[in-house]
Amino acid sequence: MNKAFTLLLGAAFLAMPAFAQQQAEPLDAAIVEKIRKEGLENSQVMELAFYLTDVNGPRLSGSTGLAKANQWTKDKLVSWGLTNAKIDPWGTFGKGWEVEKSYLALTKPYYQPMIASPKAWTPGTNGLVKGDVVLVKASTEEDLAQYAGKLKGKIVMMEVTNPIKTKFEADANRYTDEQLQKLAAPVQPSTRGPISEEQMAAYRARRALAQKMTEMFKNEGAAAVFSGRGGSHGTFFTSNGASYASDAQPVLPEFEVAMEDLARMSRLLKAGIPVQVEMESKTRFLTEDPQGYNVIAEIPGTDKKLKAEVVMLGGHIDSWHAATGATDNAAGVAVMMEAVRIIKALNLKPKRTIRIALWGGEEQGLFGSRGYVKKTFADPQDMKLLPEHGKVSAYYNLDNGTGKIRGIYTQGNEAVAPLFQEWLKPFHDLGATTVTTRNTGGTDHQSFDAVGIPGFQFIQDEIDYDTRTHHTNMDTYDRLQADDLKQAAVIVANFVYQSANRKDKLPRKELPKPRAARS
């Protein structure tokens, strides 16, 4: 999930308009109890997460790790009896990339290994490289001129200006009752104005300067670049250092380095003490198949009239590369797989078809779900609806880490709130109580919402998602909360089953207007 784009907008459910005051169908208490018992007592969710993370490893878009995970999940779903299983191309992605070797150590003023990883889609060092580190201080293009002729063979890094502070708050947290009440309350109008022209100009200037630096470092013959995006206690946030496009311009080798190691080198260099390192990275570009893929499988519906209709659930299976993508998003994939396993294990007979989708390319821009929605339901740019558009009742997504479900965002769809409140009642004792009509963004339910299909993301306890695991080198199996994932799978299974068996499809919002293509 890309948390940078998460939004909390809209008004929460408080007083429903007359058309939305519909009565939810009474729940079959016996079936709800069976779902609960199977999911809490016979769960396979942690075994699924183990294979997704420890066994298949990092799942960067286009990598062999993702291809292995796609095949493994498809085979697992088939083994449970799901049908129409396929690894389905969503469109052109670009180059794959993966790390085959990575080593970085300080060698002067003393020897010590450092915590780091190559940035995605950057080249390797072509063997062991030893060299001096140069500290670059530049806030304008004019500042860069002083480094002309001084960078050949050097490892370049920017000055670390923000001190690393000890935190006295817990890394991991759960929603309090007060926070959930606030989430379910109407949103107050924002007092923050739009981005000013000056702010936008400053942003563009920073982007332009960063591009100039990249070009200068390469033209000057620097050996490599060190960078960091925050983090502490050895945790660093990872990203890509170059484009995955097939025709992307070459760049220098670049390491994402733990802030403590960057700050130490910065302090030494500012004090006039030479810093030397040795490093080696071996990375591989995968160019044979530029396609991106999703994994799709179904539990067929059983009602003659309703089996052509579909209830969907899913989460993205791709991850970043510095760890094994446990909370982002093996957790969501394992929960959604476990939800369909529960339904199959209980031999429940959904009236509508249940379709699970495990999306690729989410981290680069929701590519898998957007590609699937465009070719199956509608293109948001023209909103010309395809025949399958009217057959989908709902799409449910999970991509907020390992925390238990505390409720659900209705994405501004007020009419579904009474239904969701009813479906959560059997799980109030497990902490799931909150229905809000606020929007949340940054992940694959948005692809469905963008074309007028009811798409929903669950509210989850964040645990240490923002502080320790999201897009970091610490996003490993060890960070997963087993009881939370069991609880989440039970609730998802119930929501999916109730959606598949109710008389009508879920109510929809007004269709969006066509939107202009992105520039």
CATH number at residue 145: 3.50.30.30
Out of 240, 255, 283, pick the residue that ends a domain: 283
Task: Average the pLDDT over 26-42 and give the result.
Answer: 96
Axis crossing angle, helix 331-345 with helix 482-501, rounded to the nearest 10: 50
Out of 283, 299, 315, pick the residue that ends a domain: 283
Q: In the structure encoding, which two tokens stand for residue 27, read together?
A: 């729940």
Q: Are residues 134 and 277 in the same domain?
A: yes
Q: Are residues 246 and 309 in the same domain?
A: no
pLDDT at 90 over 80: yes
Q: Are residues 59 and 101 in the same domain?
A: no
Look at strands 112-113 and 276-286 and give their pairing: unpaired
> In DSSP terms, which residues pair with 104 in a beta bridge?
279
What is the tens place of the pLDDT at every residue in 190-213?
667 778 888 898 889 888 998 999
Nearest Cα residue to 298 out of 89, 86, 506, 486 = 86
Residue 350 inside a domain? The answer is yes
> In DSSP terms, which residues pair with 455 in a beta bridge?
395
Q: Are residues 115 and 257 in the same domain?
A: yes
Residue 434 inside a domain? The answer is no
Q: Are residues 203 and 298 in the same domain?
A: no
Domain boundaries, position 136: 97-283
Residue 446 inside a domain? The answer is no
Higher pLDDT, 466 or 19: 466
Per-residue confidence (pLDDT) for residue 164, from 0 to 100: 87
Residue 370 inside a domain? The answer is yes
Look at strands 129-136 and 353-359 and give their pairing: unpaired
Residues 394 and 396: their CA atoms lie apart, in Å, by 7
Q: Are residues 119 and 161 in the same domain?
A: yes
Under a CB-based contact definition with an 8 Å cutoff, are residues 230 and 256 in contact?
no
Out of 257, 283, 309, pick the residue that ends a domain: 283
Q: Are residues 137 and 273 in the same domain?
A: yes
Residue 490 inside a domain? The answer is yes
Alpha carbon 11 to chain centroid distance? 25
Residue 38 inside a domain? The answer is yes
Helices (H), 139-196: 141-144, 177-183
Residues 358 and 206: their CA atoms lie apart, in Å, by 36
Q: Are residues 168 and 102 in the same domain?
A: yes
Higher pLDDT, 519 or 85: 85
What is the tens place of the pLDDT at every residue in 233-257?
999 999 999 999 999 999 999 999 9
Residues 361 and 7: their CA atoms lie apart, in Å, by 20
What is the tens place of the pLDDT at every residue in 166-197?
889 999 999 999 999 999 987 766 667 778 88
Per-residue confidence (pLDDT) for residue 311, from 0 to 100: 98
Q: Are residues 177 and 270 in the same domain?
A: yes
Residues 280 and 449: their CA atoms lie apart, in Å, by 45
SS3 118: strand
Q: Are residues 308 and 349 in the same domain?
A: yes
Confidence class of residue 305 from pLDDT cuts 50, 70 and 90?
very high
Q: Are residues 266 and 328 in the same domain?
A: no
Residue 81 inside a domain? The answer is yes
Q: How many CB atoms lie within 10 A of CB 397?
A: 30
> In DSSP terms, which residues pair with 108 in a beta bridge?
276
Residue 509 inside a domain? The answer is no
CATH number at residue 314: 3.40.630.10
Cis peptide before 294 (omega within 30 of 0): no
Residues 62 and 363: their CA atoms lie apart, in Å, by 12
Domains: count for the chain: 2
| Arithmetic mean of pLDDT over the chain | 93
Q: Are residues 237 and 250 in the same domain?
A: yes
